[in-house]
Amino acid sequence: MGRFGGIVVRGLAMETRWLDATGQAELVASGQVTALELLEAAIERIEALDPAINAVVMRWFDMARETASGQLPDGVLRGVPFLLKDWVAACAGQPLCNGNQRLKELAPPSPADTTLVSRFRRAGLVIAGRTSTPEFANQATTQSRAWGITRNPWNLAYSPGGSSGGAAAAVAAGMIPVAHATDGSGSIRIPAACCGLVGLKPSQGRISAGPFGDESGSGVELCVSRTVRDTAAVLDAVHGPGVGDTVTAPAPRRPYPQELSGDSGPLRIGLLDHYPRGGAVHPDCAQAVRQTAHLLQALGHHVEPAFPTALADPTITDRLSIVASSHMAQMIARLSETLRREATPDDVEHHTWALARKGREAGAVEYAQALAALTRHRRAMHQWWADGHDLLLTPTTGEPPAPLDAFTPDPTDPLANRHLQAKYTAFTRAFNLVGQPAISLPLHWNDAGLPVGVQLVAAYGREDQLINIAAQLEKAKPFSSVKPCN
């Protein structure tokens, strides 16, 4: 038996707590356990562990039991319990609140599954509920008026990152082995770094956003997991275009699980161990990335100080601010449609309203100019890989996990903590803008026992390289054996 926060879990719930999704699926496939037994074990862990963490905010256990008891698809992850993030992943008949209090009160049921959710089902995953997210997934931490504060299993006084902090906390605590996550500015990679997990942001257009979304934006979806093989399995099960997709990534060269062989050969890797525009990152983050550079060299790769100069472009932040605030204004407009009245400041949190107000003030020409500048930036960034580098190695975040009170909003200055948010997105957001795949790996823990992630970035469409190199690093420094509790 194991203990977390004074709560005890026993039997199968304990035996499978730290078993990854691939291992759990193998138990079901071999007949050692049933999908329902595996689900009940996950439910036991959620009910025992989540009160201290507050990660699982919607519990669809009866629906999941019905699914697990029925004829599951013969997918690679058949029978594995799974949670969806409370953001964009519509699940037929179930509410989607996007971290907003007003939508939580209304709880409107979704009319259909998204393409990705239907593919999760096809892979055999058993959907059992939703994890927490900040309002409209717009913070580098996970706390909201709707769902409260989600805590980091490594230290409950610290943030799990955001906006997929609920997913990351649930997986890191051992409630489930893998969970849905999304990434618009780093929201897969930041919580993966803060919670000691693997977090892959796929290329733009790798995962269909259908039938409601648009692949041409900066947001993408996939998962957080404890092992590289789980991330490879999920990506292989759900990638590919859907009907009407606006962007389609090139097809992989072979199934992603085959990249776990780690047979890449020597790679040329650029090292960035400081902020792109100058200035030192936190010593914990610098140490993490430098140690990883030494490990990569020991594995036979060539690592040199180098990074795309476009990363240091001082004009991009202002351009991005125009686009991001305009999109938030659009979200408020959609909220008005759902409410069937004009949304007011009382319907959203202070920082959400302040950001949307900036978006409403931006003119159409200013918005178009920002998009044009971001297109030029994208081409300049991609050129660095085209000129001969295979990967870029950076810290995932410029700071280790922060105390929760560091993100407490100031109602009199709702955007005051944006400078803190920027330290967590300085190395992640750029690759949402340009559509390239990037992965965060848990290769370091600081003296306080908190995980610190490192990021590797590949050329557009080269998730295969990231899985390959991640498998090499995982073999050299097995990280899934490091756990936040017994």
Catalytic member of 144, 159, 164, 187: 187
Closest residue by Cα to residue 284 from 187, 150, 402: 402
Closest residue by Cα to residue 307 from 431, 439, 441: 431
Catalytic residue at 208? no
User: Any residues with CB less than 8 A from the CB of 476 and at least 6 apart, and which?
Assistant: 295, 298, 299
Measured in residues, the chain has a length of 486
Pairing of strands 220-225, 438-445: unpaired
Closest residue by Cα to residue 249 from 459, 38, 97, 59: 459
Catalytic residue at 216? no
Closest residue by Cα to residue 127 from 113, 148, 109, 107: 113
Catalytic member of 85, 203, 440, 480: 85
Report the 10 Å Cβ neighbour count for 31.
Answer: 7
Residue 247 Cα distances to 213, 214, 217, 462, angstroms? 11, 8, 9, 16
Say if CB 21 and CB 230 are below 8 A apart: yes
Q: How far apart are CA 190 and CA 201, in angstroms?
A: 11
Say if CB 140 and CB 186 are below 8 A apart: yes
- Look up residue 394 and give its DSSP letter: E
Say if CB 49 and CB 9 are below 8 A apart: yes
Strand intervals (E) in 49-161: 56-59, 81-85, 126-131, 143-144, 148-149
Strand intervals (E) in 391-464: 391-395, 438-445, 451-458
Catalytic member of 118, 163, 164, 218: 163
- Look up residue 437 and give its DSSP letter: -
Residue 182 Cα distances to 22, 113, 218, 240, angstroms? 21, 16, 11, 17
Catalytic residue at 85? yes
Query: Tokens in use for 383?
Result: 């050129």
Question: Mind telling me the catalytic residues?
Answer: 85, 163, 187
